[in-house]
Amino acid sequence: MSLLKIRILVLISLFMFSFVMNGICLDNNSDLINNLKLIEDKMSDINTLATQFIQEKNLALFNQKIEITGFLYLQKPSSFAWHINTPLEQRIILKSNNVVQWDEDTNQVQKINLSSNPTFNIVMDQMKRWISGAYLSLVDEYIVEFKKSEFMELKFFPKDGTMAYKLIKNINIVFQEDEKYIESITINERNGDSTSFIFFETQINIVLDPIVWEVNPRDK
Amino acid sequence: MTNKLFAKFFEILNKYWKTIIILVGLILIFSIFKLFTIPFNNNVELMLPQNEEFSKSLNFLRESNFSDKIILSLSLNTDDKTVDDLLDTAEQLKNSLKSPLIENVESGVEENNILEDIKDFLEYVPQIITEDELLEIDKEINVKNVKSKLKEGYNKMLSINSMFVSDFIQNDPLNIKTQYLQKLKALVDSIGYRVQFKNGHFVSMDEKHVMLILNTPVFVTDSTESRKLVTYIKQQILLLPNYIDVDIIGGHLHTLSNEDIIKKDITKTVIAMTLILLPLLIFVLKSFRAFLVFIVPVMAIVIAMNLTSYMIGTLSSFVVGLAAVIAGITVDYGIHIYLAMKAGGISKVKEITKPILVGVFTTMGVFASFFFSSINGYKQFAVLTNLSIIISIFLYLVLLPKLFYKKSEKLNIKKLNNKTKIRIKGDRAIALLWVVVIGVFIFFSKGLGFNNNIRDYDGSSDEIFSAEERFHKTWGTENEFAMFVSSGNELEKVLKINENANKLMEESFGEESFANIAGIYPSIETRRKNLFRWASYWKNHNEEKLETLLQEQGAVFGYSKEAFKPFFETLYTSYEEEEEEENNKDPKLIASLKQRFLQNTGSGYYAITYFADKKILVDKAREISEKVQNTFIISRNNMANSISVSVYKEVKKLAWIAGCLIVFLAITLLRNIRLTILALLPVITSIFMILGSFSLLGFSINAPAIIATLVVVGLCIDYGVFIVYDCMNDLGAGTLSAVTLSAVTTIAGGGVLLLATHPVLFYVGITMAIGIFSGYIVAAFVIPSCYRLWIVQ
């Protein structure tokens, strides 16, 4: 076989390989989109949600990990309440563009307009997406890996050039066995810190007590 | 003597008539072609007084980049689309705007690097911590405060946004530097738009609008380039999906709209005047060749515009807009000569040449007073009108006698006079009626105010104003700011002046807020001093003191030993960079703010302090400006007041000069006090009729109206002089007919300006119409009665 023929054969092989790989990649990508769509569809059935959570923070700032417990409430389209019970009572209530914050230490209610607080806005926006299952909208900012073994699992790697890239290494979301809601979220930060949320006793589409959206400072 | 001169003049005309006609024809053809090359300027500045404060303000606005921006406000016109669609379209439009007329497009702030930018700023903070602030920091380094701050930090770490907070706690546990972010934010909030950032874009608070800011090298006053720029932008907007509406905001649009409206007004005026004057001249004077009476002023204007442009350069569109009025003025002399010609040929023309010249000189006297003005537009007006009058009278005297004298066409002036010259027996009743009417209008004119609002001269279309109103509502820019400007050739010097001004404003303004960048961007010298003070403070055992306190108190909350290492590691970063002379780059957060507070004009710098445009604050700022050299105030309201004062002074000066000139010329030429008073009756009447009518119509007197009044005065004295001459000499040259036709043509010339959309031309029109009408009535009816009562009896 002449050298020219070998060259042509190698080129054809490379071309065919790249063609096939491209197809596989496209296929993989469309599979992923389909899976994310499926998850979104399932979670779109959730109109209200009440769940307990345990949050563990491993931070370089502290010698020991911090454990936080509390409740999370969600009411679509845009209400979201974060009640922390231990180690310090805290309430964060988000309704559309406004956040009301209170903690037992200061016993003061702080009102924040997300429009005027870009960092808080980003955090709230991301949390809302992770908790409500709006994962398709994260595809532009994250490389997403879908895994399904015993539990369905999603891994998000921030894309270079995004704001999340500078802070977050990856986010791991594991779904409950019945795939109705999230079992845990783990956020690994670039500085080595990590935070994990474990959700349990999750109740879906229940009538939420209006009190969960209220913040009442205590009488001193 | 005069008669001999006229005889000689007509003799020469007769001798060289053909040569003169050919010469005039050639000059006219040349002028018509040259007309298309005359540069026009529709800048309102030309019509405004040039005092030092006003010039400084205009220079500042020209040199700074405030006016050379065009803002596009995009909005959704359907509920089917979301803010994301709006952002996509904004990005599409931003990318499509590629033209040498657009330097760059600002669409927002890149959020991706915001944390780095904040950290960058925090490292810079030691440069702006003053001696007093350092003393405050020193007071905070104690057990109680450190414990409280560490607890606060711990609580923050329990919060949902701890990811963003942890870095800041590590870098600034006592919140020493972070509090300066508030200072920075306050500075942004104090002057900016009501805006939020979404995906790096300027988004309105209702999330329904997106803003793009276009920086352009095109000056607002450059109408040719402005037209290219706006046309280009509109073309790109047309390519956007139809669910998007775009409001274009910028001074360029005002320039173009004013130019378009003035052009339309001029066309409208010329057409209307032609439609009114031609039939008038043809049917009343019953000769097609009467067209020449009408065309001479147009020829005169064409030649005068060329000569004026040759002498002055760029012509003001406003001044040219008055050309229709000037046509109305000069046509008067043609009518007098024409009627005299018809009545008795050259001999009659010779007879009326004297009153015509009295009229010409007094009218020129009024316009000559404009030479004494400091306003360039007024000077142009003086040159243009006087040249027009001279050329017109020359052309009339050259052309009319030769072209019109035919025995067969001799007009029965006596018949015409009988038609128009009403012999009134009740002279006393007429004089009394005049006294009553003038008394009533004097009474009403008392309450008349002076309008100094320059914005009232802006004739831009409603579409532009509506877009601006929508823009202000959406982006919250209703509040007007005044500016305290520190200027100089070197940045460091300007920063020092600004620092000084900031200090004085802090003392003077009290609780009233103002935005000055000196707090976060003082002079290099001050920053260096602050930095050295900061470094020596920590080196003086305070670093060890704080480290021990943080470790002891941090242990209570479980903080690790290394928790605050980043704070101590970066304690001297800025200082070390300064020592190694590497510290020459401003933090990005400051760099973006500097665009608003510091302006590099190429030849120097401006540092700008913003404050509410209230009189009390402007006065305080002015006091400071008087103390600090190389500073001045830019205030829209103040500018209007300053213009008002200058215009008032200017007009008062011109009115005095014009008044003196008229009286002087009238007395000199009429050589009789009583006759002079009679000749001035139309002038006095027209002035009070204008003032009284303005008051009754609910208008305020303004600069264009005053200028038009002076024109009216110049014309009314003509009417007075002609009628007085006629009463004295019974010329039989159709004087009353000529005055009537003159008044009608001038009212037509001025009256058609009532059709003008542009406010300046409209005010000129209404003033002309009222003034000439009242002046004519008095000249035609009151002067003869008064003459009989006062002179004859």
Which chain A residue has its CA at the smallest distance from B112's CA? A163
Nearest to A167 among B155, B163, B169 (CB): B163
A159 CB within 8 Å of a chain B CB: no
Q: How sure is the predictor about B321, in pLDDT bands with cuts at 50, 70 and 90?
A: low
Q: Do A122 and B111 touch (CB under 8 A)?
A: yes
**Residues of chain B contacting residue A72, judged by C-beta atoms under 8 Å apart:** none
Whether residue B485 is found in the same domain as residue B443: no
**Partner residues linked to A215 by β-bridges:** none
**pLDDT over 80 (residue B98):** yes
B12: which 2 tokens? 């020469």
Question: Which CATH number fits the domain that encloses residue B93?
Answer: 3.30.70.1430
Asked whether residue B467 is domain-assigned, the answer is: no
A109 CB within 8 Å of a chain B CB: no
- Interatomic CA distance for residues A188 and A173, integer angstroms: 12
pLDDT-wise least confident of A195-209, B86-100, B393-407, B478-492: B393-407
Q: Do B160 and A61 touch (CB under 8 A)?
A: no
A108 CB within 8 Å of a chain B CB: no
Residues 6+ apart with CB under 8 A from A164: A126, A141, A142, A158
- Interatomic CA distance for residues B167 and A191, integer angstroms: 9
Of B616, B635, B654, which closes a domain?
A: B635
Mean pLDDT value of segment B635-663: 76
Domains located in chain A, CATH noted:
3-213 (2.50.20.10)
- Interatomic CA distance for residues B413 and B730, integer angstroms: 12
- Interatomic CA distance for residues B787 and B729, integer angstroms: 12
One-letter identity of residue A60? A
- Interatomic CA distance for residues A31 and A45, integer angstroms: 22
- Count, in order, helices (H) and strands (E) of chain B: 32, 13
Q: Which is more confident, B630 or B754? A: B630
Whether residue B149 is found in the same domain as residue B11: no
- Interatomic CA distance for residues B357 and B394, integer angstroms: 11
Q: Do B166 and A116 touch (CB under 8 A)?
A: no
**pLDDT over 70 (residue B490):** yes
| Residue B503: strand, helix, or coil | helix
- Each residue's pLDDT tens digit, B347-383: 777 777 878 888 888 888 888 888 888 777 888 888 8
Q: Which is more confident, B374 or B141? A: B141
Asked whether residue B57 is domain-assigned, the answer is: no
- Interatomic CA distance for residues B468 and B453, integer angstroms: 18
Å between A5 CA and nearest CA of chain B: 47
Which chain B residue has its CA at the smallest distance from A165's CA? B112
SS3 of chain A: helix, strand, coil, percent, to 5:
35, 40, 25
Whether residue B409 is found in the same domain as residue B317: yes
Instruction: Give the CA radius of gyration of chain A.
Output: 22
- Each residue's pLDDT tens digit, B389-432: 888 888 888 777 776 655 444 444 444 444 444 455 678 888 88
Locate all alpha helices (DSSP H) within B280-408, ordered by sequence.
285, 291-312, 317-321, 323-368, 376-404
| Residue B139: strand, helix, or coil | helix
**pLDDT over 70 (residue B576):** no
Nearest to A88 among B111, B158, B161 (CB): B158
pTM (2 d.p.): 0.67
Asked whether residue B56 is domain-assigned, the answer is: no
Q: Do A118 and B196 touch (CB under 8 A)?
A: yes
Nearest to B558 among A62, A118, A165 (CB): A62
Whether residue B774 is found in the same domain as residue B655: yes
Nearest to B560 among A60, A105, A114 (CB): A60
Size of interface A-B (CB pairs under 8 A): 93
Locate all alpha helices (DSSP H) within B421-542, ordered by sequence.
427-445, 462-475, 491-509, 524-537
Whether residue B675 is found in the same domain as residue B724: yes
| Residue B686: strand, helix, or coil | helix
Q: Do B151 and A105 touch (CB under 8 A)?
A: yes
Q: Exposed (0-12), middle (13-18) or buried (19+): which is B288, by Cβ within 10 Å?
A: exposed
Q: Do A167 and B164 touch (CB under 8 A)?
A: yes
Domain that holds residue B612: 114-190+478-635
Å between A95 CA and nearest CA of chain B: 15
pLDDT of residue A220: 54
**Residues of chain A contacting residue B157, judged by C-beta atoms under 8 Å apart:** 57, 59, 61-62, 66
Cα first-last separation, chain A: 93
Domains in chain B, number: 3
**Residues of chain B contacting residue A169, judged by C-beta atoms under 8 Å apart:** none
pLDDT of residue A18: 43
Q: How sure is the predictor about B575, in pLDDT bands with cuts at 50, 70 and 90?
A: low
Q: How sure is the predictor about B144, in pLDDT bands with cuts at 50, 70 and 90?
A: very high
Q: Are B370 and B282 in contact (CB under 8 A)?
A: no
**Residues of chain A contacting residue B558, judged by C-beta atoms under 8 Å apart:** 62-64, 66
pLDDT of residue B425: 60
Highest mean pLDDT (candidates A48-57, B67-76, B709-718):
A48-57
Asked whether residue B495 is domain-assigned, the answer is: yes
**Residues of chain B contacting residue A54, judged by C-beta atoms under 8 Å apart:** none
**Residues of chain B contacting residue A92, judged by C-beta atoms under 8 Å apart:** 159-160
- Each residue's pLDDT tens digit, B6-61: 677 777 777 787 888 888 889 989 988 888 887 777 666 666 666 666 667 767 76
Q: Are B718 and B332 in contact (CB under 8 A)?
A: yes
DSSP assignment, residue B781?
Answer: I
For testing contact with chain B, the best of A54, A61, A166, A188 (most B CBs within 10 A): A61
Give the percent of chain B with pLDDT over 70.
Answer: 85
Asked whether residue B615 is domain-assigned, the answer is: yes
Q: From chain B, which residues contact A within 8 Å (Cβ)?
A: 111-116, 151, 155, 157-164, 166-167, 169-170, 196-197, 205, 557-560, 562-563
Å between B499 CA and nearest CA of chain A: 29
**pLDDT over 80 (residue B327):** no
Whether residue B621 is found in the same domain as residue B506: yes
**Residues of chain B contacting residue A163, judged by C-beta atoms under 8 Å apart:** 111-115
Whether residue B513 is found in the same domain as residue B494: yes
Å between B463 CA and nearest CA of chain A: 30
Of B617, B635, B653, which closes a domain?
A: B635
Asked whether residue B463 is domain-assigned, the answer is: no
Q: Do B114 and A84 touch (CB under 8 A)?
A: no
pLDDT of residue A15: 47
pLDDT-wise least confident of A107-121, B20-34, B206-220, B666-680: A107-121
Å between A24 CA and nearest CA of chain B: 30
B304: which 2 tokens? 């005068």
Å between B563 CA and nearest CA of chain A: 5
Whether residue B507 is found in the same domain as residue B653: no
Whether residue B566 is found in the same domain as residue B529: yes
**Residues of chain B contacting residue A187, judged by C-beta atoms under 8 Å apart:** 163
Which residue in this structure is represented by tokens 């021990």?
B548
Cα–Cα separations (whole angstroms), residue B361 to B353, B668, B780: 12, 11, 21
Nearest to B560 among A63, A121, A168 (CB): A63
Asked whether residue B421 is domain-assigned, the answer is: yes
Angle (nearest 5°) at CA B678 between B672 and B680: 100
B424: which 2 tokens? 């009134």
Q: Are B348 and B733 in contact (CB under 8 A)?
A: yes
Nearest to B112 among A57, A161, A168 (CB): A161
pLDDT of residue B324: 56
Q: Which is more confident, B582 or B122? A: B122
**Residues of chain A contacting residue B170, judged by C-beta atoms under 8 Å apart:** 60-61
- Interatomic CA distance for residues B720 and A44, integer angstroms: 90
Report, as ranges of residue numbers, the positions in chain A whose pLDDT lies below 70. Answer: 1-29, 115-116, 118, 219-220
**pLDDT over 80 (residue B640):** no
Which chain A residue has its CA at the smallest distance from B563's CA? A61
Looking at beta carbons, which pairs linking B388-391 to residues 24 or more positions away fall under 8 Å? B388/B297, B388/B300, B388/B301, B388/B304, B388/B326, B388/B329, B388/B330, B389/B300, B389/B329, B389/B330, B389/B333, B389/B360, B389/B363, B389/B364, B390/B364, B391/B299, B391/B300, B391/B303, B391/B304
Of B635, B656, B678, which closes a domain?
A: B635
A39: which 2 tokens? 């998850």
Q: Exposed (0-12), middle (13-18) or buried (19+): which is B371, by Cβ within 10 Å?
A: middle
Instruction: Give the CA radius of gyration of chain B.
Output: 36
Q: Are B150 and B559 in contact (CB under 8 A)?
A: yes
Whether residue B648 is found in the same domain as residue B787: yes
Asked whether residue B622 is domain-assigned, the answer is: yes
Nearest to A68 by CA among B142, B162, B254, B193: B162
Q: At what angle do helices B223-238 and B251-279 cross, to 10 degrees?
A: 110
Phi, psi of A178 (to 5 degrees): -80, 0
Region label for A86, one of left (φ > 0), alpha (ψ between -120 and 50) or beta (otherwise):
beta
Whether residue B650 is found in the same domain as residue B778: yes
Whether residue B237 is found in the same domain as residue B209: yes
